[in-house]
A = this chain, B = another copy of it.
Amino acid sequence: MTHFSKDTECFFRSPVREIFKKVDLSSIYSFAGGYPSADTFPLEDIRSTMSKVIDKWGGVAFQYGATQGVTVLREAVAKRCGVPVERVQITSSSQQGIDVCTRVLVDPGDVVLTSNPSYLGALQSFCSYRADIRGVSHCSDIVRFEQDYVKTIEEALSEGKKIKFLYMIPDFQNPSGETLTLQERKMMVSLARKYDFLIVEDSPYRELRYEGDPVPTMYSLDPERVVHLGSFSKIFAPGFRLGWILANEDVLDKIYVCKQSLDLCPPVFDQYVAAEFLQSGLLDANLSKSIELYRHKRDVLLSLLEKYMPENVSWTHPEGGLFLFLTLPEDFDSVAFYDRALSAGVAYVAGSFFHTDGGGKNTMRLNFSFLDENRMEPGIKILSDLLR
Contacts and interface: CB of A to CB of B under 8 A. Distances in A.
Interface string A252-270: 0010011011111111111
Interface in A1-57: 1-8, 11-14, 17, 20-21, 33, 35-36, 38-39, 41, 43, 46-47, 50-51, 54
A65 interface: yes
Given A251-B2, A267-B239, A58 B35 contact: no
Interface in A269-307: 269-270
A314 interface: no
Given A260-B13, A262-B99, A63 B35 contact: yes
Given A17-B67, A67-B17, A257-B12, A62 B239 contact: yes
B62 A38 contact: yes
A267 B264 contact: no
A93 interface: yes
Nearest to A65: B239
Given A41-B62, A238-B268, A269-B239, A263 B99 contact: yes
B2 A250 contact: yes
A104 B61 contact: no
B54 A2 contact: no
Contacts of A92: 92, 241, 263, 267
Nearest to A7: B103
A107 interface: yes
A232 to B, nearest CB: 11
Contacts of A110: 5
A354 B325 CA distance: 53
Contacts of A196: 1
Given A93-B263, A121-B264, A262-B99, A64 B35 contact: yes
A124 interface: yes
Interface string A86-108: 00000011011011000111110
A268 to B, nearest CB: 3
A95 B217 CA distance: 34
Interface in A189-225: 196, 198
A251 B11 CA distance: 13
A59 interface: yes
A81 interface: no
Nearest to A262: B99
A164 interface: yes
A60 interface: yes
Given A104-B7, A263-B99, A270-B269, A62 B240 contact: yes
Contacts of A104: 4-5, 7-8
B124 A4 contact: no
A187 interface: no
